[in-house]
Homo-oligomer: A and B are copies of this chain.
Amino acid sequence: MVLQPSAAGDPARHNLDPHLARYAARTEGMTASEIRALFAVASRPEVVSLAGGMPNLAALPLESLASQVQDIIAQDGLVALQYGSAHGVPKLREQICEVMALEGIKAHPDDVVVTVGSQMGLDMITRLFCDPGDTVIAEGPSYVGALGSFAAYQARVVHVAMDDDGLVPELLEEALTSAAAQGRPAKLLYTIPNFHNPAGVTLSVERRSRIVEICRKHNVLIVEDNPYGLLGFDGQTYPALRSLDPDNVVYLGSFSKTFASGLRVGWVLAPHGIREKLVLAAESATLCPPTLNQLIVSRYLDTHDWKGQIKKFRESYRERRDAILAALAQHMPQGCTWTEPEGGFYVWVTVPEGIDTKAMLPRAVTARVAYASGTGFYADGFGSRQMRLSYCYPTPERIKEGVRRLAAVLESEMELVQTFGTVQRRPVSGPQTPGPDTA
C-alpha cells in the first residue's frame, strides 16, 4: 500500500532482504551452523547419520511417564499451566542439587537457576559477561552451540588445544598470558571437562585443580558445561571443577541427555551475585521456563529410578561406542586417527593431509553416510582435516554400516589426493590447534 523505501533512500531493487540495513551489528556473526544445514539432508532414512547429537530415548518408560504427566495436569494443572518464577520451581532446584552431588558438588538450591536447556544458560552467561570484542577461551574444537552464543554477543574466541587428557594446562596458561599481553585479557574459560563434545576426551583428574588454579591466577571465570558427566560407560564420574572452586565456576547442567531433551530443562549453578543477575537476564529472555516441564522432571526424579535409567542409557551408548570403535579399526584407511571416548556421544576423527572433510561431505552423503565436518567446531577456520562422528542415535548395525561407507569414501578421496594432490586449507587465524588424536 505504501512504496517501499530502502534503508539508505535508494531503490532497494537488488536487495533480497529489504531490512538488511536495519540489523544490529551482532547479526554479522549469525550464520547457519554447518551442522544444522546438514540435518535436513542427513535425516533421509537411507542415510546413516553420524552427524547429529540426538540422544537415544528408546529406553524411556513412556507408558509410565505418560500416566505421571496425566496426573500432574489433572491434579496440579492450575500450577503446571500457569506462569512461574524466572528462578525455577523450588522443589526441582533442590533435586538438581542432589543430582550435582554425584559429581562432588555441594550447592544451595537458591544458587540454581532453571533454564530452557543448558543452551539458554550459556546464552545468559555470555549476555552477563561478554561485551563485544571480549575474549573467551574455549577448547579447540568446541561445542558448536557455544560458539554460536559467543558469536551472537560478538565475543572473540581463542581456542586452546586438548590431548587425550583434555585441555592442556600449559597451553591454557600460554593463551591467557598472550591474550593479556595483547591488551585483550580473557573473561571466560568455556570448557566441557567430561566426554567432550565434539572431541570425546575427558579432562584428567590431575589437571582439574591445575586448570582451576590457572583461571584464579589470571582472573578468568570458568564456565563448566557438563551435559554428559553421568554418561561414563563404566559408571565413573569425575569431580566437577565447580566442586574445586565454588566461587569462580559457573556450572551448566542439563536433563537433555540423562532424561529427555524435548522438555528443554537445564540449569545454571552460579555464585550468589551472578545468580541474582542471571534471574533478571532470564526474566527478560523468556519470563520463566515452562512450569509443566519442570514439574514433569521433578516428578520423574521423585518417582522413577532415574539412576537406573541413566545406567540403561549408559549401556546403550557403550554398546554403540564399542560398535563404532570396532568398525573404525576394521575399515578406516591408514593415516586416519581418532579419539576413544569413555563416555558421551562422540568420536573425533582426523583424516590424512590433503583431505578436506567439508568438501568431502556431499560425496559422503551421496554414499549414504553423514558426519559433522570439523570446521564447525572452531571459530577460526581450523578443523578441515577433522570430523565428528556421533554414535548416540543409530543402532550398532547401522553404525557399522555407516563407518564402512565412510571408509570407502575416504579411500577413494585419498586415491584422488595421491593422484592429483590437493591444496590443503590452513586456518586464517588463531592457534594451530591440533585435534585431540589418538592412534
- The answer to whether B287 touches A119, judged by C-beta atoms less than 8 angstroms apart, is yes
Given contacts A17-B273, A81-B262, A245-B1, A285 and B120 within 8 Å (CB-CB): yes
Q: Are A58 and B70 in contact (CB under 8 A)?
A: no
Partner of A152, one of B127, B152, B261: B127
Is A247 on the interface with B (CB-CB < 8 A)?
yes
Interface, chain A (partner B; CB < 8 A): 1-5, 7, 16-20, 22-27, 30-33, 36, 39, 54-55, 57-58, 60, 62-63, 65-67, 69-74, 77-86, 116-117, 119-120, 123, 127-131, 134, 145, 148-149, 151-153, 187, 209, 212-213, 216-217, 219, 221, 244-245, 247-248, 256, 260-264, 271-274, 277, 280-281, 283-293
Q: Are B84 and A262 in contact (CB under 8 A)?
A: yes
CA of A115 to CA of B303 in the docked complex: distance in angstroms? 30
Taking A20-B273, A70-B66 as contacts, is the C-beta distance between A284 and B219 under 8 angstroms? no
CB pair A286–B23 under 8 Å, yes or no, is no
Contact yes or no, A290 B264, CB < 8 A: yes
- Contacting pair B286 A1 (CB below 8 A): no
Complex alpha-carbon distance, A120 and B292, angstroms = 18
> Which B residues lie within 8 Å of A263 (CB)?
81, 290, 292
Give the shortest distance, in Å, between A39 (CB) and chain B (any CB).
8
Known: A24-B129, A66-B71, A82-B57. Is A18-B273 also a contact (CB below 8 A)? Answer: yes
Bound CA span A216–B1, Å = 10
Q: Please pick, from B26, B57, B62, B260, the residue contacting A127 in the complex, using a CB distance under 8 A.
A: B26
On whether the beta carbons of A286 and B120 are closer than 8 Å, the reply is: yes
The smallest C-beta distance from A155 to any residue of chain B, in angstroms, reads 10
Q: A127-B26, A290-B116 are in contact. Are A57 and B81 (CB under 8 A)?
A: yes
How far is the CB of A398 from the nearest CB of chain B, in Å?
16
Top-7 shortest CB links A-B? A17-B273, A262-B291, A81-B260, A70-B70, A66-B73, A148-B284, A66-B74
B-side contacts of A245, CB under 8 Å:
1-2
Task: Across the interface, name the chain B residue whose C-beta is closest to A216.
Answer: B2
Name the B residues within 8 Å of A54 (CB-CB): 82-83
Q: How distant is A377 from chain B, measured CB to nearest CB, in Å?
A: 15
Known: A24-B129, A216-B2, A285-B120. Is A62-B83 also a contact (CB below 8 A)? no
B69 touches A73 (CB 8 A): yes
Alpha-carbon gap, A271 to B55, bound state (A): 34
Minimum CB–CB distance for A278 against chain B, Å: 10
Q: Establish whether residues B217 and A2, one from each chain, have CB atoms under 8 Å apart when the complex forms.
A: yes
Structural contact, B271 and A19, CB atoms closer than 8 A = yes
CB contacts (< 8 Å) of A212 on chain B: these are 1-2
